[in-house]
Amino acid sequence: MFLVLLFLFTVVPALELYLLISVGSQIGTLNTIFIILATGVVGAILAKSQGRSIMSSVQGKIASGKMPTNELIHGVFIFAGGLLLVTPGFFTDVLGFSFVFPITRFGLVQLAQIYFAKAIKNGTIKVMKTRGFSTSGNQSSNYRDENIVEAEFERKE
């Protein structure tokens, strides 16, 4: 984990700085700034539209009583892509667009699912079911965990 964080906080910014200086010296400072601003705006708009699409899909699955696992993974990729796209730089823009565009995102989601399936099978990631809650909101057992906060809510219109 330390190596991942070291890479994210040192190598990626250094690469971005190098790319910004290189591109800026080739096409000019103002053009480089314009490209950075344009990719940020286009990326935010694209992430917003894709996010809305996924949210309606999630709501449809929940309304039909199904767990929207695939949609949630897509949502995480869209959120991460949106964050990368508003971060100035060319490397993060390429990565962000690959997270947001549906064609590339579907491939990345499949790779993530394969990775998590292997990690769960190997025991690297542990999945635990919690008891005590049902879909109707009623408690279904006497299971208690000190780390879980139970609450009730009432929707008022």
Cβ atoms of 74 and 54 closer than 8 Å: yes
pTM of the model: 0.73
Q: What are the residue ranges spanned by the domains of the chain?
A: 17-122
What local confidence, expressed as pLDDT, does residue 122 receive? 87
Query: What pLDDT, in 10s, does the model give residues 110-122?
Result: 999 999 889 888 8
Supply the mean pLDDT for the chain: 85
35 or 125, which is more confident: 35
**Each residue's pLDDT tens digit, 76-101:** 999 999 999 988 899 999 999 999 99
pLDDT band at 51 (very low <50, low <70, confident <90, very high): very high
Rounded Cα distance, 19 and 32, in Å: 10
Q: Tell me, what's the pLDDT at 139?
A: 46
Listed in sequence order, the residues at least 6 apart from 19 whose beta carbon sits closer than 8 Å to its beta carbon are 89, 90, 91
Is the pLDDT score of 150 beyond 70? no
Q: Distance (Å, rounded) from C-alpha 28 to C-alpha 36? A: 12
Length of the chain: 157
Structure confidence at residue 151 (pLDDT): 65
In what helix (H) or strand (E) does residue 56 lie, and over which residues does it extend? Answer: helix 29-63
Is pLDDT above 50 for 140? no
